[in-house]
Amino acid sequence: MAQASSNLVISAFEATPLHEIPVKVQHLRATFRSGRTKNIQFRIAQLRKLYWSIVDNTPLIEESLKRDLRKCQFESIISEIDWVKRECLDQINNIEKWAKDENVVNVPFEFKPMGYRIRNEPLGVILAIGSYNYPFQLNLTPVIGAIAAGNCVILKASESSPNSAMVLAKIFDDALDPDCYTYVNGALPESQAILDQKFDKIVFTGGKGVGKIIAQKAAETLTPVLLELGGQNPAFVTKNANLKLAARRLLFQKALNAGQVCLSHNYILVERSVLSPLIGELNSQLRAFMPKGAKRSPDYSRVVNIHHFNRLKKMLDSTQGKIVLGGSMDESDLFIEPTAVLVDSIEDSMMVQESFGPIFSIMAYDTLDQAIDIANEVDPTPLALFCFGTDAEANKVLDNVTSGGATINDSFLHCQIPQSPIGGVGQSGMGSYHGYYSFKAFSHQRPIAKTPSWAEAVLRVRYMPYSWPHLKRLYRLNGMKPNFDRQGNPTRGITYLIGLVLSLGGKTAKAALLRWAILIMAAAIGMKNDSLNQWLLK
C-alpha cells in the first residue's frame, strides 16, 4: 500500500518480476549495439533531463530519506541532492572535452607520423548496485558517470532503503530513455537473477562480504568490477594536534547520517599523554552539536533497520572496554547515540570489524611507530585514514600505512567534492570514480594508429627477408641509449654537459627558461648602465 506524508505519495516497494530481468538486460544490449548512446549530444541531453528530474523530485527525495533513515532535510540537501546535481553539471560541462582523442605520450620520433592516440569509448552495458546509506548519492553518481561515458545502464538500488528505491525508479521513468537506462528493484532473488546476466562492467558499493560474491560471480564471465567496500579506517591523533579541532572534525563524521558512512573512522589511535584531554573535547563537542541530546536533535539520523541496530548493539555489549562518550540507545526508535569506547586490545569487539554506525573505539599509544603497527595489524588496506598532528607526523603515517584515500587535519575531505575520486585499495575495493574519474572508469581507453602509405621506408625493417642494415638504420633514428652504467649509476657524458650548459643548471624546461630570462634581463640592465656611464663621462 502506498505511504503518504502530507501531499507526498511514494509507491510501496515493489520487486521487479524475475522473468523481466533478462529481458531488460537484452534490450539494453540491443540499444547499445545500435550506437544510440555513443552520440555525445544524446548523453548530454539525458543528463540534463536527469538534473531537472532531481530538482523536480526534491520533495520526494527528502521524504524518502526521512522515512528510510530519518535523515534531516539539511543533510538530504548537502550530502545527497546537491551532490548528484553537481555530478550532473560536472559531466555535462566537460563531456565534450573528456571525450576527445588523447595523444599517446612519449611516442618515438620515427613513429610520430602514425598519429598514435587514445580514444575513450563506452564499455557497453553497466550494472550499478548501490548502497542503502546514501541512496541517491551512491546510486546516481556511478549512473551519471556511466551515462556520460556513453553506456547503457541498469541500476539495482538497495532494498534496505525501499522508499528511496521507489523514488529512484520514478526519477528514471520521468527523465531517462527507457531503451538505454533502466532499473531492477528487489532483494536477494532479484540480485541473484541480475548477476546471472552478462555485463560489461559492474560497480558495487557496500560490504566486503557481498563484494566478494559479486567479484566471484563477475569472474565467471571475465566481467571487470569497480568495488567500493569500506574498511576499518584509523584516525591518528598525536600530542601536537589541535585537540579541540580534531575532536570536532572526527565527531562530525560519526554524527553525519548516524555514522553510516563508509569513509568515517572505525577507531582513533591517540598519543597517551593527550588521551584524557581528547576524550574531554569529544564530550564537549557532542554537547555543542546536540544541546538537547542526540535523541532530541532534529539533525540526527537513525540506524537504517533492526538488523544493523542489533549488529551495533552486539559490538557494544561484547566490548571489554569502557564507554567514554555517549552510550544510550533505543531499539524501538533505532536510535544509537554517538558512542566511543576506550579499549586496550585489537581483539576487542569494537576493533575486529567495521562498525559502519555512530560507534567507534579509542586506543592509546606511546609512540607513532607503535600506532602505525596497530593500524597495519587491524586493517592493512582501509578505505580512508586521518592524521592530526604535525606535517612530519602525517607524512610518516602516509608513508607507512596504505589506504584508499587520506585526509590530514580533517575528516574525509579528500572525498567531499564530486571532482575528487573515491576508491579503495586491497580489501577496501578496487577502481575509483567521481567526475572525470567516473568518465574514465566507464570508458575503454582504445589505442588507435593510422599509418600513411609513404611510411614503408620506416616499416621495411619488419618485412621478410629481414635486413640487418635496415634494423641498424632504425636504431640510428630512435637514438635510444642508456644513461646509466651496470651498477645503476647515472652516466654524465658530453650530452649531459651540453644540456647542463644550455639549461643553466635548471632541472626542467620551465626552470631553464626562467634562468635564461633572468640572465637576459641582467645583461640588458648591464648594457644600459654601461651606456649611461659612457654618456656621463663625455
Measured CA to CA, the distance from residue 375 to residue 73 in angstroms comes to 36
Cβ neighbours, 10 Å, residue 485 = 9
Q: Which residues of 74-93 are buried (b: 16+ CB within 10 A; e: fewer)?
A: ebbbebbbebbbbbbebbbe
CA 154 to chain centre: 21
* Burial class of residue 432 (count of CB atoms within 10 Å of its CB; 0-12, 13-18, 19+): buried
Q: How many CA atoms lie within 13 Å of 47's alpha carbon, on the beta-carbon side?
A: 31
Please give the grid coordinates belonging to residue 279. Answer: 576524550
Measured CA to CA, the distance from residue 149 to residue 32 in angstroms comes to 12
Closest CA to 234 of 130, 365, 335: 365
Which amino acid does the sequence have at 238?
Answer: T
DSSP class of residue 305 equals S
Closest CA to 267 of 377, 367, 373, 342: 342
Closest CA to 357 of 286, 285, 249, 257: 257
Measured CA to CA, the distance from residue 372 to residue 419 in angstroms comes to 30
Q: CA angle, corner 96, sides to 91 and 99, nearest 5?
A: 95
Q: Are 433 and 142 in contact (CB under 8 A)?
A: yes
Cβ neighbours, 10 Å, residue 362 = 23
Measured N-to-C along each axis, helices 137-148 and 40-56 cross at an angle, to the nearest 10 degrees, of 160
Catalytic positions are 228, 262
Q: Are 333 and 302 in contact (CB under 8 A)?
A: yes
Measured CA to CA, the distance from residue 20 to residue 450 in angstroms comes to 44
